[in-house]
Structure 1
Amino acid sequence: MSLAEYIDHTNLKPTATVADIKQLCLEAKTYGFYAVCVNGCHLPLAKEELKNSKVKLAAVIGFPLGAMSTKAKVFEARDYVEQGADEIDMVINIGWLKSKIYEAVKNEIQAIKLAIGDKILKVILETCYLNDEEKEMACSLSVEAGADFVKTSTGFGSGGATFEDVILMKRMVGDKAKIKASGGIKDKETTLKYIELGVSRIGTSSGPTLLK
């Protein structure tokens, strides 16, 4: 697999313009990235721009705080899949996890997975806010709930991906789920190290730079 095929080319900035999203999609097609990852309002535009290409379409839900109601997240996920999203990147309810309301965290992930059927679900743990025990629990709950991926970060928290977190996540999920590293990944060397550690997908806005 080429390096480009690991990359979810991402623009989740609140200031992202129509021109920015068009540029994102053009780069994804040019470099052969696996997917583009966008906020929901940009789905119709991205879908149109990616027409007749192999690039997948990913959208974020409950982003970036994860603190919306489960009902709202489920609606958002279903809506985006209906609009053509191939993959959904959801933010876990961090407050519930830290409060040890584990059943609610798991049920929410499960409900979203159920709503999107055979589409790919990535669960963003936002590791910068969690201790190791919480990270381990988040991984276990995600796997139990049927998530396809666990993902490190939104890129909007106080920190992004780290090698240590990916090692912990890999230890917890084994082959039961894949891992996406995202947040602050800007160079090729770092990317290759993550892949070596067992990461299946890299979320970055620096894709083109990274490949040069």
Structure 2
Amino acid sequence: MDKKELIDKISDEIISKLKKTSSSDNLSFKSDLGNKNIQGSSVGCNIQINTPADLAPYIDHTLLKPDATEAQVKKLCEEAVQYGFCTVCVNSSWVSYCAKKLRGSGVKVCAVVGFPLGATDSRTKAYETRNAIENGAGEIDTVINVGALRNGDLKTVEADLRAVFTACRKTTITKAIIETCLLSDEEKVIASQLVKKVGFDFVKTSTGFSTAGATAHDVALIRRTVGPKMGIKAAGGIRTYEDALLMIHSGATRLGCSASVKIVSV
């Protein structure tokens, strides 16, 4: 049995188990991306990568370091415009600044919420979400309540996700970070199904601030879980063109990278 067959077998068994034991939670359903302008939202779109530059529209150019300076954030925005990256992904305090720098460029601002631990109160996450959107964020990456998930408290996880989702506008692209490196395969499947159930546009693998980042195994498992129409963002540890291609081939439709320029300039 090869790796793909093993992943398929594991995810099928877990999903089957969930359907039998958690039918009241209604974890399986069809995703509807509506009229949102989501680049790389579906494996069905047949992403064609012929050159490194072809990756640019699928990259969130990322700077989330707590000591990021204005000069570094300014450079981030300039690079995003120059290379045609999908968004700049920044902490909430930089959203307004980036929105002004990027106005009219076609590059959106992605704000992280509850970052990087996901352990803040749901009301705080909702406020942070509304504030980021008011300041110009077009995309929101929120961290799930990982502790509640590991404790089996799915109602709390879902309520936390829903608080952020409800705070978003209809046009806001929503991503939920499940922090795969802290979860078992079964927990990854459960988390992905909850994210899909609430209505998020993407499952995101990692914050990049924990013990490990995205892996091909996890991306493939999430893809098998959520189906072909939902977005998957791989983030954390994607430093080369080869890394990026591996994630795309495994099922990712968006990449979170700080080494974006290096990746597309090979």
Give the TM-score taking structure 1 as reference length: 0.98
Contact 2:125 2:163 in 1 (8 A): no
Instruction: Give the Cα separation in 2 of the matches to 1:183 and 1:8.
Output: 12
Moved over 3 A (4+): none
Question: 1:158-189: CA deviations, max 9, x gaps?
Answer: 00000000011001111352100000100001
**Which 5+ residue runs of structure 2 have no aligned equivalent?**
1-47, 49-53
The CA deviation at 1:111 is 1.9
Instruction: Identify the residue that residue 143 of structure 2 maps to in structure 1.
Output: 91
Corresponding residue number in structure 2 for 1:141? 194
The aligned counterpart of 2:123 is 71
**Rg larger in structure:** 2
Cα distance, 1:107 vs. partner? 1.5
Contact 2:235 2:256 in 1 (8 A): yes
CA deviations 1:51-109 (Å, max 9, x no partner) are 22010110000000000000000110011111110000000000000011101111211
Which residue is equivalent to 1:204?
A: 257
Aligned to 1:183: 236
In structure 2, the residue corresponding to 1:181 is in which secondary structure? strand
The amino acid of 1:166's aligned partner reads V
Percent sequence identity is 47
Instruction: Name the residue aligned to 1:36.
Output: 88
Matches within 5 A, 1:5-16: 5-16=57-68
**RMSD of Structure 2 on Structure 1 (CA):** 0.9
Contact map agreement 1:180 1:202 (CA 8 A) in 2:
yes
CA distance in 1, matches of 2:176, 2:228: 16
The answer for unaligned runs of 5 or more in structure 1 is none
Code of the residue aligned with 1:51 in structure 2: it is R
Could you say which residue in structure 2 is the equivalent of 1:127? 180
Tell me which amino acid in the other structure corresponds to 2:197: E
Q: Give secondary structure in 2 for the equivalent of 1:159.
A: coil
Query: CA separation in 2, counterparts of 1:103 and 1:142?
Result: 12
Whole-angstrom distance in 2 between the partners of 1:30 and 1:54: 11
TM-score, normalising length: structure 2: 0.78
Aligned length, in residue pairs: 212
Cα offsets for 1:97-126 (capped at 9, x unmatched): 001110111121112111102211100011
Q: Is the 8 A contact 2:216 2:247 kept in 1?
A: yes
Q: Distance in 2 between matches of 1:106 and 1:128?
A: 20
The aligned residue for residue 151 of structure 1 is 204
Task: Give, as a single letter, the amino acid of the residue that structure 2 aligns with 1:193.
Answer: L
Indicate the SS of the match to 2:224: helix
**Cross-structure match for 2:9:** none
Contact 2:62 2:89 in 1 (8 A): yes
